[in-house]
Amino acid sequence: MTSSRASRVGVGLVMGACASMSQAADTSAIFSTYFNQRADVNFVEPYRGWSRAGDNFEQVVTSLIREARSSLDVAVMVVTLPHVAQALADVAQRGVRVRVIMDNSYRRDWSALTPDEVASLSAEDQELWAEVDTFVDADGDGEVTEAERASGDVAFILASAGIPVIDDTEDGSKGSGLMHHKFVVVDGRTVLTGSANWTHSGFFGDIGRPSSRGNAENLVVVRQEQVAQAYAQEFALMWGDGPGGQRDSRFGVRNGMRPAMTVNTPDGMVQLQFGPSSATKPSQDTTVGLIDATLKSATHRVDLGAFVITDASLTDTMGLWPQVG
Ligand SMILES: [Ca+2]
Ligand SMILES: [Ca+2]
């Protein structure tokens, strides 16, 4: 599955430090980075059982989830991986407060769709349905049993564990289809973020396509309370009072302007900012402005990996580079 919606909402996390590179969780490092396409480490994919190069994102995510002692705030556009849901259920069952926010377009009872409903989905959604179906109808007989849902259906596993889940209709709207975050805050002290949705196609590749190893994606873990708290505050704006109750959840531009913040750590500096911003705000105050200022601060080299770059001010900035050398 491609990420055609990847550019709609910007979250800028610009790291000034050289992050550590390790497969195993290094709980002493402030910054840890992971890449599912890196060539220098190998792992066995948990669902297809294939040995391959890259970091095992699911292991990174579930290990971090299992570290939680008090709270887990998960804001991820789409989650389909049963092992992740099971890890969330396990920590909830030992008393950790787990809260989950997803995008309304992807928070569906996928396994309950009729063949006609599946046929009417977009091609992108059909791929996602097929992924969920592979997990949920584990024996592939076309019938979904209660036992199959209990082991393979994320929505069912979270609901069974009593984990509250909201999406961006919780503000009383029809939903924006733009809850594009992929982060989890652990105990208010550690945050994992990155480019990948928590799906098989995001972490490992399209499950039914043997040649697929997935889009090139990254995860970043930051063990620094100020950074984690910035994400916790973003979560709190979206969560409001949670499911039902008041309509005090806020999404997208209704979150108001959150300025860029800078955090200095012993291992380097982090600048971060949450989008989107209202179109009436000056560009330099937005995530685009933060990225642009970071690009302009380069003196001799920029290594840039992006799925798509459409913003004219950023391409203008890069267009100047050949002239400045
Ligand atoms: Ca079945
Ligand atoms: Ca509410």
169: CA distance to ligand 2 center in Å?
A: 10
CA-CA-CA-CA dihedral for 228, 230, 234, 236, to nearest 10: 70
260, amino acid identity = A
Residue 238 · residue 249 · CB < 8 Å: yes
DSSP state of 69: S
pLDDT of 25 reads 66
DSSP state of 325: -
Distance, CA of 180 to CA of 183 (rounded, Å):
10
147: CA distance to ligand 1 center in Å?
A: 9
Which-ligand-closest: CA of 143?
A: 1
Distance, CA of 230 to CA of 198 (rounded, Å):
21
167: CA distance to ligand 2 center in Å?
A: 10
Which-ligand-closest: CA of 140?
A: 1
Which-ligand-closest: CA of 141?
A: 1
pTM: 0.90
238: CA distance to ligand 2 center in Å?
A: 9
Domain edges within the chain: 11-16+24-259+266-276, 282-324
pLDDT of 222 reads 98
84: CA distance to ligand 1 center in Å?
A: 21
166: CA distance to ligand 2 center in Å?
A: 8
Please state, as a whole number, how many other Cβ atoms lie within 10 Å of the Cβ of residue 66.
Answer: 16
Which-ligand-closest: CA of 172?
A: 2
Closest CA to 226 of 56, 61, 52, 30: 30
Distance, CA of 250 to CA of 257 (rounded, Å):
12
86: CA distance to ligand 1 center in Å?
A: 19
266: CA distance to ligand 2 center in Å?
A: 39
Helices (H), the chain: 57-67, 82-93, 115-119, 123-136, 146-152, 154-160, 200-203, 225-239, 287-296, 312-319, 321-324
pLDDT of 132 reads 96
165: CA distance to ligand 2 center in Å?
A: 11
pLDDT of 21 reads 43
274: CA distance to ligand 1 center in Å?
A: 42
Determine phi and psi for 182, rounding to 5 degrees.
Answer: -145, 75
pLDDT of 19 reads 39
141: CA distance to ligand 1 center in Å?
A: 5
pLDDT per residue, tens digit, the chain (325 aa), is: 444 443 334 445 554 444 344 455 678 899 999 999 999 999 999 999 999 999 999 999 999 999 999 999 999 999 999 999 999 999 999 999 999 999 999 998 898 899 999 999 999 999 999 999 999 999 999 999 999 999 999 999 999 999 999 999 999 999 988 899 999 999 999 999 999 999 999 999 999 888 889 889 999 999 999 999 999 999 999 999 999 999 999 998 888 889 999 999 999 999 999 988 888 999 999 999 999 999 999 999 999 998 888 888 899 998 888 776 6
Distance, CA of 3 to CA of 105 (rounded, Å):
14
Distance, CA of 90 to CA of 132 (rounded, Å):
21
- HSE-CB for 44 with a 13 A CA cutoff: 2
The correct answer on CATH 3.60.21.10 for the domain covering 11-16+24-259+266-276 is no
